[in-house]
Amino acid sequence: MTQYAENIENENIVFKANKDGIVIILPEKISFNELKTSFNKKVLSSRNFFGTAKTRLVFKGRELSEIEEKELLGLMYRYTDLDIVLTKKEEPKLSLLVSTLEEELENQDFYKNAIAEAEEKVFHYGSLRSGQAIEKEGSLVLIGDVKPGSEVKVSGNVVVLGTINGLVHAGYNGNRSCSISALKFSNSQIRIADTITHVPKRWVSKGPSHAYIEDDKIFVKPLT
Amino acid sequence: MSEVIVITSGKGGVGKTTTSANIGTGLAMLDKKVVLLDADIGLRNLDVILGLENRIVYDVVDVIEGKCTYKKALIKDKKNPNLFLLPAAQTRDKDSVTPEQMKELCNELREEFDFVLIDCPAGIENGFKIAIAGADRALVVTTPEVSAVRDADRIIGLLGASDIRSPQLIINRIRFDMVKREEMMAIEDVEEILAIDVIGVIPDDEAIIISANKGEPAVLDKESSAGLSFLDVSRRIAGEEVPFRDLNLKEGFLSNLKKLFKGK
């Protein structure tokens, strides 16, 4: 049953019009010759759907060589009255994602949101107060202070544009090449991978500094 | 014979943590092996008072969740090799621990230490119930203020409903000059209202604030009247008979005369 449904889906060529132009979703599993035949049929039967507009074509769902693309374009030229200005091929790797996220792709905001989301994951705006914690994969840029009683734990590097007073743990998965940088290191505990150091209570770094592992020890050196 | 003692008060800010730190240090000075357990999860302070906040790697929640053994989480005091701290977690809340787990932990600690002192959070909710779960004995801290005494009374009532045997009272931050002018409740007044044994009276002392900032309990300071009183309480807890100091006199003519000569 599902097999049958899949076949139908796989052999189907779908035309969609959106604000970018006409999106042609091609089946992935059939040979190019089969594709050409069904494409031919589909285009012929959809002549009225296309009209005579000036438009852009986007091929999706299948990897096309340059020759293949030209052949399909030729068919489009021959059997429709479209004024095609530009064609765009989809990246093959995205094709799977594309079919499921079709709606969002049509919306350019999707890309903007994706970038904002990725940025949000790296950047943290505002200080961490006592009891607050950030734990995540990757690196962190914290714009603010790490106050006493707060914790930062990441698998990558940490950059604090402020003072570190709390606990900061970089490379918690065991990556000893990670580092911690801050405008000021004060009364705090610093951990990199499996190494721990205590910043003495009355010691304060001279300006922006950088903590890293050397000979199994953590060093805090001024950034010059 | 080891003992698990919870230090509680009901009201916040009366000096539970300060009392815990000082009595713990005092008992360690008397060559007892002591562990201070901070049960104030999410609002830990005992590590700060002891000046050990940077040394925390594991905390009580890690121990209870089985991430490490309690031995790994213990922090040895800077000065006293008999004193250990088992810190609270700061980024968690009181619901991270159940009373049963606390009881189990206390029994484990009891094996190794002469005294297990538990710093109880303020309030009468879950945090309080968890903190008292494993205790044999309770010390109720109050200040000579009506609000603190009222809350202490509530706590004594709640302790009565638990397995803990008769709680003892510590009256903290008393000012004898004010008592003399009848502007502050006297020891006798507090005793009468609460009707439990007083195990210590701690005078109000600037040294407490200074010592908290330094991360060294006042009991280490032989000049501090509060520190001396805390040491007395420690002695009494350890089973010694120690008479109450006549702080009234000390704070009066004699000490003023001493201060004059010392140029303080």
Q: H or E stretch including A36? A: helix A32-45
pLDDT at B137: 95
Of the two residues A33 and B81, the one the predictor is more confident about is B81
pTM beyond cutoff 0.80? no
Average pLDDT score over chain A: 81
User: Which tokens belong to B135?
Assistant: 């205790």
- Angstroms from B55 CA to nearest CA on chain A: 7
**Minimum CA–CA partner of A186 in chain B:** B54
Q: For A17-21, A44-48, A59-63, B132-136, which range has the lowest pLDDT when averaged over its residues?
A: A17-21
Facing residue for B90 by CB, picked from A130, A198, A201:
A130
- pLDDT band for position A89 (50/70/90)? low
Helix (H) and strand (E) counts for chain A?
A: 7, 15
Sheet holding A83-89, edge to edge: A14-18, A21-25, A54-60, A83-89
Count of CB contacts below 8 A, A vs B? Answer: 32
Element (H, E) at A16: strand A14-18
Q: Which of A168, A186, A198 to mutate to test the interface with B (most CBs of B within 10 A)?
A: A198
B214 has a chain A CB within 8 A of its CB: no
d(CA A98, CA A91): 10
B104–A contact, CB cutoff 8 A: no
Mean pLDDT, chain B cut into blocks of 10 residues (264 residues total): 93 96 97 97 94 93 95 95 96 93 96 97 95 96 96 94 90 94 94 94 95 93 94 96 73 57 58
DSSP output for chain B: --EEEEEE-SSTTSSHHHHHHHHHHHHHHTT--EEEEE--TTS--HHHHTT-GGG-SS-HHHHHTTSS-HHHH-EE-SS-TTEEEEPPPSSS-GGGS-HHHHHHHHHHHHHH-SEEEEEPPSSSSHHHHHHHTT-SEEEEEE-SSHHHHHHHHHHHHHHHTSS-EEEEEEEEEE-HHHHHTTSS--HHHHHHHH-S-EEEEEE--HHHHHHHHHT--GGG-TT-HHHHHHHHHHHHHTT---PPP-HHHIIIIIHHHHHHHHT-
- Testing the interface with A: which of B54, B58, B214 to mutate, by most A Cβ within 10 A? B54
